[in-house]
Amino acid sequence: MTREAGGLFENLDEICKPGAILATTTSSLPIIAMAKVTSRPQDVIGMHFFSPANVMKLLENVRGDKTSDQVVATTMAVSKRIKKIPTLVGVCHGFVGNRMLFMRGIEANKIILEGATPAQVDKVIFDFGFPMGPFAMSDLAGLDISFLHREAARARGEMIPDTPGDLLVRAGRKGQKTGGGWYDYETGDRTPKDSAEAARVIAPMVGPQRTMSSEAIVDRLLAAMAAEGQAILEEDIAASAADIDLVEVHGYGFPPRRGGPMFHAARQTK
């Protein structure tokens, strides 16, 4: 937890009336640690809005270990009143949605290390029904965001291997905002274009290009998501597979006609 976040919640604890709900929109800061700096951990809860918040309907309400039932009920009611689709989740890094997205990203990187291209992976996932592939989405969000998280972990002594994305960021390719990341972009145009420079930068880590079927790629990406979803269920972070699917459909662009990663995986095993 950052010192600023802790200080903010200490101040809120002092000035807010008894019974006021202290809610945070964080997508990554530890909610339980934030609650501990207050004298009312039962009143602290996460309300993770999705960007852009005026458009995205999903709202992950994150219950801490001391959050009261009354606070949960009030938060869920407020969520519906502001016309959001709320789901209640537990505390873990990335909560439900970002945690599963992270694992999909790891698998996508493995696939390109084995010789597929970012454009091929993105096309496959787009054709499946997602609005955007993982590499185009990374360019949109900014490659430096996840890079800085990995660098912070390395600074703490964690053994985090380099990724192709790290090479791109170190070469100044941070995504759309710098005119190039996994793809190249022309000024004023967000259309991703294949990049010979990006291919050159990541070449030291990538194996020889080889043919990989679209079916194999999408199966691996969805299997990674479903496996993480199963771990989330086993850890009681989500109450049901349906809650996980709700998060993925309404917050992460999983095609509604496919039902969500858990529903899709269950159908594949029948």
Query: Counting beta carbons within 10 angstroms of the beta carbon of residue 208, is it exposed (0 to 12), middle (13 to 18) or buried (19 or more)?
Result: exposed
d(CA 66, CA 237): 15
- State the alpha helices, DSSP H only, in 16-96: 31-36, 69-81
| Cβ-based neighbour number of residue 10 at 10 Å | 13
Q: What angle do CA 117, 268, 225 make, to 5 degrees?
A: 50
User: How far is CA 195 from its chain centroid?
Assistant: 25
For residues 254 and 130, the answer to whether their CB atoms sit within 8 Å is yes
Buried (b) or exposed (e) across 257-268, using 16+ Cβ within 10 A?
ebbbbbbbbeee
Cβ proximity of 241 and 249 under 8 Å: no
Its sign, for the CA torsion 114, 174, 148, 91, is negative
Q: Using CA atoms, how far apart are residues 117 and 164, in angstroms rounded to an integer? A: 12
Active-site residue identified among 48, 149, 250, 264: 48
> Is 48 among the residues known to form the active site?
yes
Buried b (16+ CB within 10 A) or exposed e, 76-94: bebbeeeebebbbbbbbeb
Beta-bridge mates of residue 184: 180, 193
Catalytic site residues?
48
